[in-house]
Amino acid sequence: MKPQIGKNSIGESLPILTPKTASFFTVDGSIAHAESARLQAGNYRIAVRLSTDNLGVMIKIYNQTVDTATTTTGMFLPHNSIEVFALEENSVISVIDGVINVTPLM
């Protein structure tokens, strides 16, 4: 598929990331820690759908075939935030204290 190119308000060209909405999935760490399955390499949009304290969630993204618990770090995503991450092959998204929606981008 040929990438789509758009223009911003000052006329600069930039790529348009199109969500593959049929492929989105939820990782529910609202009651206990939860992890996604291993993911293919690509760009992913992570949206915080629910946080147990209405502040945000902690996520950890790591490569399951390379990283160990001592080499990975977590990050805080505020309630209702949306972030885009470029993930490598076999990455796993781990979440605690809430629910995230993960959407692959084309």
* pLDDT of res. 7: 79
pLDDT tens profile 15-41: 776 666 667 788 888 888 889 989 999
CB 27 within 8 A of CB 102: yes
| pLDDT-based confidence at residue 76 (cuts at 50, 70, 90) | very high
Q: Does 63 fall in a domain?
A: yes
Q: Does 7 fall in a domain?
A: no
* pLDDT of res. 21: 63
Domain membership of residue 73 as a residue range: 18-105
β-bridge mates for residue 79, sequence order = none
Residue 82 exposure: Cα atoms within 13 Å on the Cβ side: 5
- Cα(10)–Cα(31) distance, integer angstroms: 46
- Kindly report the average pLDDT of the chain as a whole number: 83
Total structural domains within the chain: 1
